[in-house]
A = this chain, B = another copy of it.
Amino acid sequence: MGDMNHSVGLSRTELVEFDIELQLESGRLLGPLRLAYETYGKLNDRRDNAILVAHAWTGDAHAAGRHHPEDRKPGWWDDMIGPGKVLDTEQFYVICSNVIGSCFGSTGPTSINPRTGKAYNLTFPVVMVRDMVRAQQMLIDHLGIDRLLSVIGGSMGAMQALEWGVHYPQRVRSIVPIAGCGCSSPMAIALNALARQSIYNDPMWRKGNYRTEHPPADGLALARAVGHISFLSDASMQLKFGRRFSVRDGQFDFFGKFEVERYLEYNGRNFVDRFDTNSFLYLAKALDLYDVAWGFYGLEDALSNLKCPSLWFAFTSDWLYPPYLTEEVVAVLQDLGRPVSYHLIESDYGHDSFLVEPEKFTPKVIEFLGRISRAS
């Protein structure tokens, strides 16, 4: 995992500015547009070895390597990206870009609205996953790539992969959606509703006009705790925490805590230091609105645009995007006669399985990418 021999080494987040106004699904215009991205490996002469990695809700462009030699942790998917790894940087040119709406360099609610000279905050337009992909497409142009070998990602990354396949069929040769869905479920929306309300309830939120140095910390920490619960599973919580008490003599203390509570609180608090509240809300909205059939006559109509081979994974204990949501999409693709592979992976780690137990599905990814690669 941390083996430097298989690391991409030092990596760096690049920024690119597009002096355009991007028309969003909502009809609103967003621009100028900045995208933050990282690349690993080299684009080959035929320019046909590029793989786009799409990140999840709170991810960023820093998918692999370290920004500084002393960084405690490498990028968020360093297990997957590097020389000899699944996304082998000796073979592939790997790109990861921060989505619009986020707070890690790409245009989002914390960016300055050129019309007002102030941060957008809630004047930022509601973006859909489709808009994120539309922006990524400009980056791919910028990098001089006509067709991506693949788009791969988990969770919101899986949604992006699917949108790529449906809306830019001429620009992708394959997609690998992991722990994704064709649309988010009311349960997922309900959980995000809790997260939203916990932020709205925080007087520091001030309808999104908080000052950066005084974020609605209590609200955001609680919102993140909701997220953590949805990423875990009953089984993984049993394994990780059981019914252990954090302070044993506190059993009859009104404010006593179980280990699982302490974990949620600790991780919620940490999150406040690294993520912007408005960005969190905008991305939650994008997740809730996600529906590949949006703007089409239905799921079949939407998916009929997807021509390339797709490789899907779902995880048995994932209750945020349960397997049936992937299976609905896969069934339609099969009916349409598209080249589609689907694997239901046994894992106890809930939605997080794709990060916790990659070894359970990566052999299939390696085989798939090899096949796509050779077919070029």
Q: Which A residues are within 8 Å of any B CB, using their own CB?
A: 25-28, 122, 125-126, 183-187, 189-191, 193-194, 197-198, 201-203, 218-219, 222, 225-226, 229, 232-234, 237-238, 240-243, 251-254, 257-261, 264-265, 281-282, 285, 288-289, 291, 319, 322
Contact = CB atoms under 8 A, between A and B. Distances in A.
B238 A186 contact: yes
Given A197-B265, A203-B203, A252-B26, A190 B237 contact: yes
Given A190-B260, A193-B260, A198-B201, 5 more contacts: A25-B252, A190-B232, A194-B225, A254-B285, A258-B288
Given A125-B252, A201-B222, A289-B251, A229 B194 contact: yes
A186 B236 CA distance: 9
Given A198-B198, A201-B218, A187 B237 contact: yes
A218 B243 CA distance: 29
B226 A258 contact: no
Contacts of A189: 243, 258, 260-261
Contacts of A193: 225, 257-258, 260-261, 264-265
A281 B183 CA distance: 35
Contacts of A194: 194, 222, 225-226, 229, 264
A190 B264 contact: yes
Nearest to A124: B254
Contact of A238 (B185, B218, B243): B185
B186 A258 contact: yes
Contact of A237 (B186, B237, B291): B186
A198 B221 CA distance: 10
B219 A187 contact: no
A265 B200 CA distance: 12
Nearest to A123: B254
A243 B187 CA distance: 10
3 pairs of A and B residues whose beta carbons are closest in the complex: A26-B252, A186-B237, A193-B261
A126 B186 contact: no
Contacts of A219: 201
Contact of A243 (B251, B259, B291): B291
A218 B225 CA distance: 18
Contacts of A218: 201
A190 to B, nearest CB: 5
Contacts of A252: 25-28, 125-126
Nearest to A193: B261
Contact of A126 (B125, B238, B254, B289): B254
B229 A190 contact: yes
Nearest to A127: B252
